[in-house]
């Protein structure tokens, strides 16, 4: 069997794949003796293939249980899990997955693939420490329900439901798209609850590989993995307080099952531990879609959903509450005026119209970024945010801007700049539109927002002229045809200098 394994490892295609992988690859035969390590391992451990070939894996790696040998003895895949190495006095965190290699029914050996997660683990640890230190800082401003800005009835109902649920100490599920303010809601609930003087810890489940997540949540026991240490997880660190699990629908169903047990038993068991530990933690979780969709797509276990959603709060996106955009805009202008020592007071009419009509896929977070980006680059003596202050990505090749009038749009620049794209047919002249120059939409690659905005303005003006022509100059009928109010159409006619 060793000859068969060797023949596979000497295959040029197989070698090319293994030698070009950035992950660490270890292959042992059916006796547990190393037959191959790839260049990534050689560089990481300062070893060569010739030095390790034929040596039993225990000769080189003697700490704790070996997932490679476990996969060999049990002849089954060991799912990806955290593996901790001590090498030259430094601790490395890796995700390891071991799986047996078969030729028909014959076991040839085991392949273990490891990904380095040292930096990720350090960032997560630093983030938890930062959260704790922030809560201990008496000068730190805590998020409350006053931090939630919006007067839209649906948004106000969400706040009232969150406020009334805060004191009940039940699990709460927040449903809202990315950037809609789920963590602000979670912090406000915690800070209005009887647990407000205890820790509030948050983790984004989508940002953590599943193999690391369980150890982070539940902790580890010394000896669980190679080099593992006793480490308490977030449940124990949040004792008496609140744990916010953001985007829980990204967690694997297997991990969700373990979380369900914690919610039902109110106790956790560290990975590799032999005893259960009682925990008193309130869970606030969130999903970045509607619950029905998460359930239909099998992203969320139904039994876990019922446990997490004793109270469900849906946070509407800002595209569904346009009247709140002015409130949020004024709030962020004041905030970043202080940060950048500026004196901005308002948006230009064009920017205001753009803000109201733009779909804001990134929600409140994106609006905040756009305003900060604009204010940080505006001269100190300016008091108005203008169209050319907008970040360029709002108008980049992948974005189609939806104008302030229904049906007015500019094709993506990628399509219009492509040599393969056919040129649009010229619109026939009419008595009203004769003499009005048609915009050239074959923009150069270095198109600036000001240029794009001019194109948008021209298309908007042309759309109005066409509607007025078709309705015999009747503003009310033209407004209905365009899908806007008569007042808004009058505003746009005045802006473009159009007279009946």
Could you say which of 84, 116, 148 is where a domain stops?
Answer: 116
- Total count of domains within the chain: 3
For the residues of 388-457, what is the DSSP string, one character each? GGS-GGGGSTT---B-SSTT-B---HHHHH-TTSPPPPPPPP-TTTTTPPPP-----TT--HHHHHHHHH
Per-residue pLDDT, 242:
97
Q: Which of 194, 206, 296 is nearest to 245 (CA)?
A: 206
Per-residue pLDDT, 491:
64
Query: Are 197 and 98 contained in the same domain?
Result: no
d(CA 350, CA 264): 54
Query: Are 287 and 150 contained in the same domain?
Result: yes
pLDDT tens per residue across span 299-349: 999 999 999 999 999 999 999 999 999 999 999 999 999 999 999 999 999
Residue 428 has pLDDT above 50, yes or no: no
Looking at residue 139, which CATH number applies to its domain? 3.40.50.300
Residue 54 has pLDDT above 90, yes or no: yes
Query: Are 438 and 460 contained in the same domain?
Result: yes
Residue 411 has pLDDT above 70, yes or no: no
Query: Are 270 and 305 contained in the same domain?
Result: yes
pLDDT tens per residue across span 77-125: 998 888 777 777 777 888 899 999 999 999 999 999 999 888 888 888 8
What is the number of other CB atoms lying within 10 angstroms of the CB of residue 97?
19
| Whole-prediction pTM | 0.71
Query: Are 286 and 393 contained in the same domain?
Result: no
Query: Are 299 and 157 contained in the same domain?
Result: yes
Query: Are 426 and 484 contained in the same domain?
Result: yes
Q: What range does the domain containing 346 cover? A: 323-496
The H or E element that residue 78 is part of is: strand 78-87
Query: Are 390 and 257 contained in the same domain?
Result: no
Per-residue pLDDT, 406:
38
Could you say which of 99, 116, 133 is where a domain stops?
Answer: 116
d(CA 482, CA 471): 11
pLDDT tens per residue across span 377-407: 999 999 999 999 998 888 753 344 433 333 3
Looking at residue 41, which CATH number applies to its domain? 3.30.450.20
Provide the token pair at 339: 């940060």
Of the two residues 437 and 347, the one the predictor is more confident about is 347
Query: Are 244 and 140 contained in the same domain?
Result: yes
Q: Is there a contact between 340 and 371 (Cβ–Cβ < 8 Å)?
A: no
Could you say which of 73, 94, 116 is where a domain stops?
Answer: 116
Query: Are 206 and 107 contained in the same domain?
Result: no
Q: Is there a contact between 286 and 245 (Cβ–Cβ < 8 Å)?
A: yes
Query: Are 334 and 237 contained in the same domain?
Result: no
pLDDT tens per residue across span 185-225: 999 999 999 999 999 999 999 888 888 898 899 988 775 44
Mean pLDDT over 224-247 rounds to 83
Looking at residue 329, which CATH number applies to its domain? 1.10.8.60
Provide the token pair at 283: 């869970």
Query: Are 156 and 293 contained in the same domain?
Result: yes
- Measured over the CA atoms of residue 148, residue 152, residue 156 and residue 158, the dihedral's sign is negative
Mean pLDDT over 224-233 rounds to 65
């Amino acid at each position: 069997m060793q000859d068969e394994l060797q023949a596979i490892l000497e295959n040029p295609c197989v070698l090319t794949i293994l030698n070009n992988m950035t992950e660490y690859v270890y292959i042992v035969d059916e006796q547990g003796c190393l037959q191959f390590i790839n260049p990534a391992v050689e560089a990481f451990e300062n070893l060569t293939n010739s030095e390790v070939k034929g040596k039993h894996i225990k000769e080189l790696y003697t700490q704790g249980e070996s997932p490679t040998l476990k996969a060999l003895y049990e002849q089954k895949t060991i799912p990806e899990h955290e593996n901790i190495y001590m090498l030259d006095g430094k601790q490395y965190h890796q995700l390891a997955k071991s799986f047996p290699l078969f030729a028909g029914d014959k076991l040839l050996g085991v392949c273990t693939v490891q990904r380095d997660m040292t930096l990720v683990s350090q960032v997560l640890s630093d983030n938890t420490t930062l959260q704790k230190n922030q809560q201990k800082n008496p000068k730190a401003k805590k998020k409350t329900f006053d931090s939630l800005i919006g007067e839209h009835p649906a948004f106000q109902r969400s706040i009232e439901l969150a406020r009334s649920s805060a004191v009940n100490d039940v699990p709460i599920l927040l449903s809202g798209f990315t950037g809609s303010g789920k963590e602000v809601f979670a912090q406000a609930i915690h800070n209005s609850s009887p647990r407000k003087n205890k820790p509030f810890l948050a983790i984004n489940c989508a940002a953590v590989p599943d193999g690391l997540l369980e150890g982070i949540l539940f902790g580890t026991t010394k000896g669980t993995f190679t080099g593992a240490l006793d480490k308490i997880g977030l449940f124990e660190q949040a004792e008496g307080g609140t744990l916010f699990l953001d985007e829980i629908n990204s967690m694997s169903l297997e991990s969700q099952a373990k979380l369900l047990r914690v919610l039902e038993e109110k106790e956790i068991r560290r990975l590799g531990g032999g005893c259960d530990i009682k925990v008193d933690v309130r869970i606030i979780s969130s999903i970045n879609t509607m619950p029905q969709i998460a359930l239909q797509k099998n992203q969320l276990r139904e039994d876990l959903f019922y446990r997490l959603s004793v109270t469900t709060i849906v946070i509407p996106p800002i595209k569904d509450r346009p009247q709140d955009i002015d409130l949020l805009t004024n709030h962020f202008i004041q905030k970043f005026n202080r940060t950048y020592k500026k004196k901005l007071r308002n948006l230009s009419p064009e920017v205001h119209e753009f803000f109201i009509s733009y779909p804001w896929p990134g929600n409140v977070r994106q609006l905040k970024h756009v305003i900060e980006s604009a204010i940080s680059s505006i001269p100190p003596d300016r008091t108005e945010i203008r169209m050319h202050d907008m970040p360029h990505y709002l108008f980049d090749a992948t974005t189609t801007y939806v104008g302030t009038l229904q049906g007015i749009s500019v094709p993506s620049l990628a399509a219009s700049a492509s040599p393969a794209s056919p040129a649009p047919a010229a619109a026939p002249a009419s008595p009203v539109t004769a003499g009005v120059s048609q915009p050239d939409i074959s923009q150069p690659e270095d198109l600036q927002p000001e240029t794009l905005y001019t194109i948008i303005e021209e298309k908007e003006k042309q759309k109005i002229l066409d509607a007025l022509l078709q309705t015999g100059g009747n503003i009310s009928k033209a407004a209905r045809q365009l899908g806007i109010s008569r007042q808004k159409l009058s505003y746009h006619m005045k802006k473009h200098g159009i007279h009946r």
